[in-house]
C-alpha cells in the first residue's frame, strides 16, 4: 500500500509586535463596545483572534491594562469621528455645532454605554481610572479650544461653559441603557439631544437654533 504524501501545513506568518499589539487592542475595543468592558479578558480576545491566551498575556500581562487600552482606543476614535481632523479648517463655531449635533443624534449610543461602563468600573481598576481621566481631559480641552478660537466669550469663561455642556452630555448618556419604548415618560418625552443643544446655546450666549442651523449648513443634521 502506497502511503499518501503528507500535506504541508501553511507556514504561520508572525506579525510584527506593533501590528499584533494594535490588533489586540482593536479587538478588545470591539468587544467592549458590543458587550462591555467586563468581557474584555485575555481568553476572550484570544478566542476572537484565534490565538492562545498566552500570546495576549505576552503583550498585556495584566488584563486591567488591556481593558484600559481598549477604552482609550474606542474613546479616541469617538473624538476623532466627532471632530474629524479634515474639518480643522472650518470656523470653530461650525466645528462645535457639528460635534454636538453628531453626538446627540443617536449614532453614539454604544459609546455612551461604554463611558457609563468605564466610569463604573474605574472605581475598582486604577489603570482604567487613569484612562478615563485622560480621555475626559482631552475632550474637555478640545471643547474649550473651540469656544476660545470661535471668539465666544461666555459668562464665567470657556472652561465653565465647556463643563456645563459636558455635564449635559453625560446626563444624556446616563439614559443610553433605557428601553426606547419603556414606561418612563422621560424616554418618550422631550428629546434629550435637544436639551443638550439648548444647554450649549444658553451657556455660550448663542441664539436658540444657531447650532443646528450651522450644522445643517455643513451638511449634518440630527440622525444623519
DSSP character string of 167-204? HHHHHHHTTTTS-TT-S-HHHHSS-HHHHHHHHHHHHH
Is residue 21 in a domain?
Answer: no
The per-residue pLDDT for range 59-75, each reduced to its tens digit, is: 999 999 999 999 999 99
Q: What pLDDT was estimated at residue 6?
A: 46
Domain count, the chain: 1
Query: What percent of the chain is modeled with pLDDT above 70?
Result: 88
Euclidean distance between CA atoms 123 and 147, whole angstroms: 31
The per-residue pLDDT for range 26-40, each reduced to its tens digit, is: 999 999 999 999 999
Q: What pLDDT was estimated at residue 179?
A: 60
Is residue 13 in a domain?
Answer: no
The residue among 143 and 184 whose pLDDT is bigger is 143
Is residue 148 in a domain?
Answer: yes
Is residue 43 in a domain?
Answer: no
Is residue 63 in a domain?
Answer: no
The residue among 173 and 159 whose pLDDT is bigger is 159
Lowest mean pLDDT among 48-52, 102-106, 120-124, 136-140: 102-106
- Evaluate if residue 164 carries a pLDDT over 80: yes
The per-residue pLDDT for range 201-215, each reduced to its tens digit, is: 999 999 999 999 999
Is residue 11 in a domain?
Answer: no
Domain range for 88: 70-217
74 close to 131: Cβ distance less than 8 angstroms: no
The residue among 107 and 210 whose pLDDT is bigger is 210
Is residue 188 in a domain?
Answer: yes
Grid cell digits, residue 148:
476660545
Q: What pLDDT was estimated at residue 188?
A: 54
Helix axes 63-82, 42-49, angle to 10 degrees: 60
Is residue 41 in a domain?
Answer: no
CATH of the domain at 153: 1.10.357
Amino acid at each position: 500500500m502506497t502511503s499518501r504524501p503528507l500535506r504541508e501545513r501553511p507556514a504561520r506568518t508572525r506579525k510584527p509586535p506593533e501590528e499584533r499589539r494594535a490588533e489586540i487592542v482593536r479587538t478588545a475595543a470591539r468587544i467592549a463596545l458590543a458587550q462591555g468592558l467586563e468581557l474584555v479578558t485575555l481568553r476572550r480576545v484570544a478566542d476572537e483572534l484565534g490565538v492562545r491566551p498566552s500570546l495576549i498575556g505576552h503583550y498585556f500581562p495584566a488584563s486591567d491594562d488591556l481593558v484600559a487600552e481598549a477604552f482609550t482606543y474606542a474613546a479616541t476614535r469617538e473624538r476623532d469621528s466627532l471632530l474629524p481632523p479634515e474639518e480643522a479648517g472650518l470656523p470653530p463655531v461650525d466645528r462645535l455645532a457639528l460635534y454636538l449635533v453628531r453626538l446627540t443624534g443617536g449614532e453614539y449610543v454604544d459609546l455612551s454605554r461604554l463611558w457609563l461602563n468605564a466610569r463604573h468600573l474605574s472605581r475598582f481598576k486604577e489603570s482604567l481610572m487613569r484612562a478615563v481621566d485622560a480621555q475626559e481631559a482631552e475632550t474637555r480641552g478640545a471643547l474649550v479650544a473651540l469656544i476660545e478660537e470661535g471668539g465666544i466669550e461666555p459668562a464665567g469663561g470657556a472652561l465653565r461653559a465647556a463643563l456645563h455642556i459636558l455635564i449635559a452630555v453625560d446626563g444624556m448618556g446616563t439614559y443610553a441603557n433605557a428601553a426606547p419604548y419603556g414606561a418612563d415618560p422621560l424616554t418618550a418625552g422631550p428629546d434629550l439631544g435637544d436639551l443638550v443643544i439648548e444647554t450649549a446655546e444658553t451657556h455660550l450666549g448663542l441664539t436658540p437654533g444657531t447650532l443646528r442651523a450651522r450644522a445643517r449648513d455643513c451638511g449634518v443634521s440630527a440622525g444623519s
